[in-house]
């Protein structure tokens, strides 16, 4: 009497509804699933770890975050083979890198195949048939990747051909309608599946402007990612970068930045934003930064105030209006 081998799959998991449902379709067929969320550094500004763990707990998947920030900057972001989307987003190259990483984990874990929540035609540029095939070819995952949400519209994969998964119990969803996904979520009793603050920052127009500006002046490194996510960004007259927090949460985030390219700047004796200024700033740019920071406080142009640059104090007055900084704003 032969014993059926218990199969394991690696799921590329975004935390969203599609990838959660895709995992559930496979888990219900008796396959163990390890959900991996690949951190490129450019995910949401809010920590979604708790939300993702909750989704995995609801469908019975193991959850792990995999950090590839160094690898992503080195291999993908600045020289994508298939170019950028509308903004700074190399979607096809990014997906191929993620699948290649997932395949490495699959081999290390002794898993049998990969799965993702991609729906054919949901994103016309990066999730059409041609783009999906390019991703498979570039990542050497052809045949290994099962897309349970659109499986019936795609060629059978190794998991289906070998009988590890019953193709008839998978879906054939295409296009941008969410009706079938909502129906499935209701059927399985999935709760709190609306992902808080998801999405990739590289697809955001304002974030892309900051990226294009940054690489004109400096080499982009992993330690720069956090700086890019928060605050008002300015490029001053002589090329220095100034970042000014917009609210308490951003001030706290900027305060925690560890990056030797910047001074930490704060007001002394008057409430004000936390700011970062390039250490390469000329005296002229530093003077402008000091006035700009004071302009974002409750201050008077007739008074002088103290501003600290990593503990070194300078005195200045604010500009008469924030309008002075508009020509230097990146977003």
- Domain ranges within the chain, ordered by starting residue: 8-188, 204-328
Pairing between β-strand 305-309 and β-strand 312-316 as defined by DSSP bridges = antiparallel
Whole-number pLDDT of residue 33:
98
Q: Are 25 and 148 in contact (CB under 8 A)?
A: yes
- This prediction has a pTM of 0.87
Compute CA distances 325 → 196, 246, 294, 304, 322, whole Å.
32, 15, 12, 19, 6
Compute CA distances 39 → 13, 49, 72, 224, 259, whole Å.
11, 11, 9, 15, 20
Q: Which is it for the CA torsion 29, 34, 39, 40, positive or negative? A: negative
Whole-number pLDDT of residue 12:
96
For the segment 136-175, what is each residue's pLDDT rounded down to a tens digit?
A: 899 999 899 999 999 999 999 999 999 999 999 999 999 8
Token code pair at residue 113 = 């195949």
CATH for 8-188 (3.30.830.10, 3.40.50.2300, 3.40.50.620, 1.10.3130.10): 3.40.50.620
Q: Which residue blocks in the chain are alpha helix, DSSP H? A: 17-27, 49-59, 69-72, 91-109, 129-139, 158-161, 179-188, 205-217, 225-229, 248-255, 283-295
Whole-number pLDDT of residue 131:
80
For the segment 42-67, what is each residue's pLDDT rounded down to a tens digit?
A: 987 777 899 999 999 999 999 999 99
Whole-number pLDDT of residue 123:
65
Whole-number pLDDT of residue 196:
47
Whole-number pLDDT of residue 2:
45
With a cut of 50, list the residues of the chain below it in pLDDT.
1-2, 196
Q: Which residues contact 18 (CB under 8 A, 6 or more apart)?
A: 117, 118, 119, 122, 149, 181
Within its chain, how far is the Cα of 180 from the centroid? 26
Whole-number pLDDT of residue 127:
57
- CB burial class (10 A; 0-12, 13-18, 19+) of residue 179? exposed
Q: Are 162 and 153 in contact (CB under 8 A)?
A: no
Count of other CB atoms within 10 angstroms of residue 259 = 14
| Spatial separation of the C-alpha atoms in residues 30 and 32, rounded to whole Å | 7
């Amino acid at each position: 009497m032969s014993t059926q081998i218990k199969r394991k799959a690696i799921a590329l998991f975004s935390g969203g509804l599609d990838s959660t449902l895709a995992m559930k379709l496979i888990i219900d067929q008796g396959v163990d699933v390890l959900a991996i969320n690949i951190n490129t550094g450019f995910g949401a500004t809010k920590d979604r770890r708790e939300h993702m763990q909750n989704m995995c707990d609801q469908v019975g998947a193991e959850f792990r975050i995999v950090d590839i920030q160094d690898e992503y900057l080195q291999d993908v972001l600045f020289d994508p083979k298939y170019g950028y989307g509308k903004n700074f987003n190399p979607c096809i190259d990014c997906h191929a890198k993620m699948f290649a990483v997932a395949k490495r984990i699959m081999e290390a874990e002794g898993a049998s195949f990969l799965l993702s929540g991609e729906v054919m035609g949901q994103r016309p540029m990066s999730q059409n048939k041609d783009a999906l095939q390019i991703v498979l070819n570039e990542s050497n995952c052809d045949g290994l990747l099962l897309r349970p949400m659109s499986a019936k519209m795609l060629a059978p994969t190794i998991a289906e051909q070998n009988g590890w998964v019953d193709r008839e119990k998978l879906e054939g969803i295409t296009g941008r309608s969410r009706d079938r996904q909502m129906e499935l979520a209701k059927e399985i009793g999935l709760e709190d599946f609306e992902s808080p603050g998801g999405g990739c920052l590289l697809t955001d127009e304002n974030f892309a402007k900051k990226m294009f500006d940054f690489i004109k002046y400096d080499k982009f490194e992993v330690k720069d990612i956090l700086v890019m996510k928060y605050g008002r960004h300015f490029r001053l007259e002589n090329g220095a970068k100034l970042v000014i927090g917009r609210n308490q949460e951003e001030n706290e985030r900027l305060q925690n930045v560890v990056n030797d390219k910047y001074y930490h700047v704060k007001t002394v004796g008057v409430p004000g934003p936390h700011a970062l200024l390039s250490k390469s700033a000329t005296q002229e740019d530093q003077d402008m930064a000091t006035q700009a920071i004071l302009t974002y406080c409750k201050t008077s142009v007739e008074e002088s105030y103290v501003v600290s640059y990593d503990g070194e104090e300078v005195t200045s007055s604010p500009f008469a209006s924030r309008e002075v900084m508009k020509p230097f704003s990146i977003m």
